[in-house]
Structures are given as structure tokens and as C-alpha cells.
Amino acid sequence: MRRAALQPAAHQYRHGGWLSFPALALLLACLLLGLALWRTERRAAAPLLHLSLFLRPRFLIAAAASATLACFYCVAFFLMPLYLSDLRHQDSIMTGWLLLPATALMALSSPLAGRLSDRRGTGLPMRAGCLLLLASALMQTAFGAQTSWPWVLLAFSFLGMGWACLLGPSMNAALAAFPQALAATALGMAATAHNLGGALGLALATALYDAVAALRPGAPDAAFLLGYRAVMALLAGLCLATFLLLRHAQARRSGQGQRPAGSGR
């Protein structure tokens, strides 16, 4: 694996830029196809995509949390192996071992997150997951060529625990937003939002990496770290925004639950 893998689609338009005719034509085609899909699904008797589900705030928030998670791990698991192999000069076997805490802790923490979700509701583990991912991203903004291995492994461990806290509870929250009759549809739409978050997040992150790394031409290691840190800062901001959204939703539900009888809406 080499840093050449980070050359995004933007390089195809290096001479014309994103405002070139091919780029604008592709964007216009995407918009038109998206509009056609929306109109088709609205008129279908049994639509494949129930876009109206996103009008329910509880479902929208759960889908946003799931999309944030997908964005984070798709981007992180694209960049972290490059950091380990290219900048820290680890072979493929050692790179796998160093990434193991993230995936192992995800597997080990998932049952605990599920039990917490059953006892305390989905909001608490989702907020905890956002904070754990935020901690991982902030720690990774400090990565360098000589960063201590305990720091690196702790950052990867926070990623795994945050992943576990968000994955199951966010899907459960999406299901709980609708009656049982719409459970399959809600799950499918939440999974669609999850996958879309990962795809769009990876595209945005690689574009950001490319733009920032270009500020240090002729210094590959410095350029890589500059781009890496910028992407992790972006992920940190996304996790913080999602945490604040979840916290606001929880505070709003608590306020509604404590409203005195007869006080009106």
C-alpha cells in the first residue's frame, strides 16, 4: 500500500479543475438523476426508498449518527494503514497487528453497548460513541513520524470502542422511530444513509487531503502528515457536531417529558 492510493478523482481534473466541463457535467447528471429518483419514488405504490422517513426527527438523528460512524471508519481505515506502512515503515503483518485493537475492541464492546442501550436507551451509548471517536480523531491530529506506540494504539482503541457504541444503538434508534410495520423499511433507509455517509465522507476526505498535502510539494512525509491531520480535524468536527445534535435531541425529549400537564404544546 502506498500514498499513491490517495490520489483522488480530483487529479483527473488537474488541468481544468472542478469547474471544468467534465466535472460540471457529471455533477449536473447526478443532480438530475437524483431528482428523477425522488419523483419516481414519490409516485410508486411500493417505493424502494421512503425519503419521507427523514422528516421524522428521531429517525433523521439516528441516521445522521450512523452516517457519521460510516464516514469516520471508512476514512480512518483508509488513512491509518498508510500512516503505519509509509510513514512508520511497518510491514503488512505488523500493520495488521497494530490495527487489531480497533477491530478487536469493536467486537468486544458491542455486546456491552447493546446491554447499555437496552437499559438506558440508545441516546447514551450514541453520545459516548461520538465522544470516543472525537477523542480518537483529536489524538490522531497529533500523529507524527515519532509518535509513541501507546499513543497510537490508544487512539485506535478509542476508534473501536466508539464504533461499537454507535453501530448497534443507531440502528436500534432508527427502528424505534417507527411502528413495527415500517421496521424493515426504516432499517433499509438507515443502512442506505450509513453507506452514503461512508462514500461521501471518503470522497470529501480525499479531496481535502489532496488540497492540503499540495501545500508541501517536494516533501512527501510532511505533505502526508499535513493532509492526515487536516482530515482527522475534519472528522473531529463531524463527531462533535453529531454529539451536540444528539445532546440537543435528548435535552428536548427530557424537557417535553417534564412539561406539566395542561401547559399546552
pLDDT tens figures, 144-169 = 999 999 999 999 999 999 999 999 99
Reading the block at residue 50, the C-alpha cell is: 421512503
Quote the radius of gyration of the chain (alpha carbons, Å). 21
Arithmetic mean of pLDDT over the chain: 86
- The larger pLDDT score, comparing residue 25 to residue 236, is at 236
Average pLDDT, stretch 38-47? 75
Neighbouring CB atoms inside 10 A of 181's CB total: 7
Q: What percent of the chain has pLDDT over 70?
A: 88
- The larger pLDDT score, comparing residue 168 to residue 38, is at 168
Sort residue 218 into left (φ over 0), alpha (ψ -120 to 50) or beta: left
Whether 4 and 86 have beta carbons less than 8 Å apart is answered as no
pLDDT band at 5 (very low <50, low <70, confident <90, very high): low
- The larger pLDDT score, comparing residue 61 to residue 261, is at 61
Please say if the pLDDT value at position 263 is more than 70: no
Neighbouring CB atoms inside 10 A of 265's CB total: 4
Confidence (pLDDT) at 264: 42
**42: closest CA among 34, 31, 52?**
52
pLDDT (tens digit per residue) in 158-203: 999 999 999 999 988 888 888 877 778 888 888 888 999 999 999 8
Interacting residues of 150 by C-beta distance below 8 A, sequence separation 6+: none
pLDDT band at 35 (very low <50, low <70, confident <90, very high): confident
Confidence (pLDDT) at 30: 86
